[in-house]
Structure 1
Amino acid sequence: MRIHVKRSEESLFLYDAPVLSDLATLIPALAQLQNCRLRITRLIQATEDLLEHGILKREDQYGLSEEQLQSFAESDAKGTPDAKKPDAPRKTVMKHGREYIVNPDPTGRRCGEALNEELAQVVTQTLVDARAAISPDLVKLNQPTTLQPLLDAIQAIKGALMITYPMGLPEYEPARQIIEGSEDLSSKQASKDILEPATCTLWWAGKELTRDKKLADFVGKNDKTKVIAKLQKAGHGAPVRENPVDEATQKQMMAYYFKKQEEHKKLMENNDDDYNNSQWADPKVLKRNFVGMGPMMSWRPR
């Protein structure tokens, strides 16, 4: 059967599973799949930052320009402060035998040395493929999601970064931490969306699908069934019910009632009897025509 997994009113992905699946196995699999989708989302963002502004600096170097860092390094080597003026801004720089584009990070957290267009294209294509693998549009296309293509997308990004950064990324670089699974999410907003496979819950039709039963115990034994289910963190209770009317229909309804309201307002403002002077509103016009008091009537057939 096909499970349409949602979070609140947002469609996440489609998943195919036998109707006789044990929920003790199915629920962790769904949670793992969603966590992997979130991981790829974070990896795409971190990699885009890396491509645009270069490698992350150490935490004690945040806010310092490359000229300041170079000056500090030279003064440490000489033992005295270096008072020479910084070099004029450069457009490109050569490092590790490769040309990088100077693009300073406005936050001061990255080195400001972006990959050139040729190297960036190697990574960019893997990001496009990864974004397609987790796209909610797959639900509209009725395409189920499985775990292996997502893991392959992560490995593809890892391989592209190894090609473009052969000297390796520092261990504090977010993209490397996400790939290696060593990132610290305790202080990040992303931690609120991550599900614990061992404790999260699955809901369908306002009922919790308990892990000690099979999927068929709740949805029946028809393998061609399609259901909408929602994942919840443990202890969060039943998910909020969706609005019976979708956003697009609601906007159309509001536009229709607003139009009717404006028409009613105009009718109330034009509350007079001027129309009684019109010929079509005269109840005796037919009688006057017959007795010859109105316009000439023609009885000749046309």
Structure 2
Amino acid sequence: MVKLVIKKGDEAQFLYETTVDTSVDDALSEVCAIYNGRLKVQRLCAEIEDLAQHGITLPPNMQGLTDEQVTELKLRDEWAEKCVPQGGVRQNEDKVGRRNGQAPTQQMADVLNKTCKEAKDLISKKKVQSNDPVVLKTVTEALDILRGAVTIVYPMGLPPHDNIKMEFENNEDLSGTQASLDVIDEQNASLWFSGKEMQRGRPLKDFVGRNEKTKVIAKLQKKGQGCPSREPVVSEEEQKQMMAYYYKKQEEMKKLDKDAEDAYLDSDWADTQALKRNFHGLKDIKWGPR
């Protein structure tokens, strides 16, 4: 199985494993699905952590309003009574004004936060260093455990306008957000290896060779952005080691220079008492045994 370290920009995202006979189209389709799936998990974790902290999302017409404005406009959140967390409510006002402030109990909040950590670990970038590939099943598993945790804490479900519910139902609206710029559509994606774009309709072996034990770096990006930047000659870790080595050598040279500057003090011409001893006939006196 050939391994592709998928990078976006200069940062490694995940390790993808396939065969050299796989077509670029199939590989690109699966890589995009994994990449976008990881983004969905990250978005969900951010929202669920807010859910654990401040409760469900307010209706769009109530978000950002103060209590006085809500009272004045005679607005009412009918979902607050329907979507009650398991075990009761813990009041924690959302200063941003997106959520209703009726958070789940600390025990239920811990369930949500712990599950978010587990989901993040499943798709973590650190898995690249441990040589652990990420597959679509891994992303699906992360989504499933998040969905299960939310169902446990909110057995009555979430409001239809809550981002978490929309994400689970694939109805999320990312227009006008930074997240929309991060998502890469399969039809608008390209894979690059060694400064060359992998052309669709051809197998991976035309670009990475026929050796199934190969491990290469492939860069994912949107079409029309040109050739991605090349990989640095030395890695970040090697660069740190080199800097530490040259700093150590520099300190050693400084010490040697200082010692050389002070060495003249032992010379005869630098002795300030030499003339005085010469007048008194005390020059070159050798002391012998008594």
TM-score range normalised by the length of the shorter chain: 0.7 to 0.9
Distance 1:167 1:36, change over 3 A: same
Task: Measure, in 2, the Cα distance between the counterparts of 1:74 and 1:59.
Answer: 11
SS at match of 1:6: strand
Report the equivalent of 1:12.
13
Aligned partner of 1:260 among 250, 254, 261: 250
Shift in alpha-carbon separation, 1:260–1:70, aligned structure 2, 3 A: same
Q: Residue in 1 aligned with 2:43? A: 42
Paired with 1:281 and 1:176, the residues of 2 have a C-alpha distance of 89
Kindly indicate whether the alpha-carbon contact (under 8 Å) linking 2:86 and 2:152 is maintained by their aligned counterparts in 1: no
Q: State how 1:30-109 maps to structure 2 within 5 Å.
A: 30-65=31-66, 69=70, 73=74, 98-109=87-98
2:79 corresponds to: none
Aligned residues: 269
Instruction: Check conservation: 1:22, 1:211, Cα contact below 8 A.
Output: yes
Residue 194 (structure 2) pairs with residue 205 (structure 1): yes
Map of 2:172 onto structure 1: 183
What does residue range 111-260 of structure 1 map to in structure 2 within 5 Å? 111-251=100-240, 253-254=242-243, 256=246, 260=250
The farther-off stretch of 155-164 and 208-217 is 155-164
The answer on whether the counterparts of 2:24 and 2:199 sit within 8 Å (CA) in structure 1 is yes
Measured at CA, do residues 96 and 128 of structure 1 come closer, stay the same or move farther in structure 2, by a change above 3 Å? closer
Shift of 1:99: 1.5
Task: Name 2:264's counterpart in structure 1.
Answer: 276
Give the alignment of 1:278-293 within 5 angstroms.
278=266
Instruction: State the identity as a percent.
Output: 37
Tell whether the 8 Å contact from 1:275 to 1:281 is kept in structure 2 after alignment: no
TM-score, normalised via structure 1 length: 0.77
Deviations 1:108-132 (A, max 9, x none): 2211111102222332332122111
One-letter identity of the residue aligned with 2:64:
G
Q: 2:52 touches 2:103 (CA, 8 Å); kept in 1?
A: yes
Q: CA deviation at 1:152?
A: 2.1
Instruction: Label 1:223 to 1:251 Cα distance change in 2 as closer, same or farther (>3 A).
Output: closer
1-side partners of 2:21 and 2:285: how far apart? 86
Distance change >3 Å, CA 295–CA 244, structure 1 → 2: farther
CA gap 1:110/1:211 in 2 versus in 1, 3 angstroms: same
Once the two structures are TM-superposed, the CA of residue 206 in structure 1 deviates from its matched residue by 0.7
Post-superposition offset of 1:262 = 10
35-44 or 123-132, which deviates more: 123-132
Please tell me the residue identity of whatever aligns with 1:182: N
Distance 1:277 1:257 in 2: 29
Unaligned residue ranges in structure 2 (runs of 5+): 77-82, 271-283
State the Cα distance separating 1:3 from its structure 2 match: 1.1
Distance in 2, Cα, partners of 1:280 & 1:218: 73
Structure 1 residue matching 2:61: 3-state secondary structure? helix
SS of equivalent residue, structure 2 residue 186? coil
Name the aligned partner's letter for residue 27 of structure 2: L
TM-score (norm 2): 0.80
Change (3 A) 1:95 1:141: closer
Counterpart AA for 1:50: L
Amino acid at match of 1:240: S
Q: CA RMSD in A?
A: 3.4
Question: For 2:176 and 2:46, how far apart are their aligned partners in 1?
Answer: 17
Residue 90 of structure 1 is matched in structure 2 by: none
Secondary structure of 1:198's aligned partner: helix
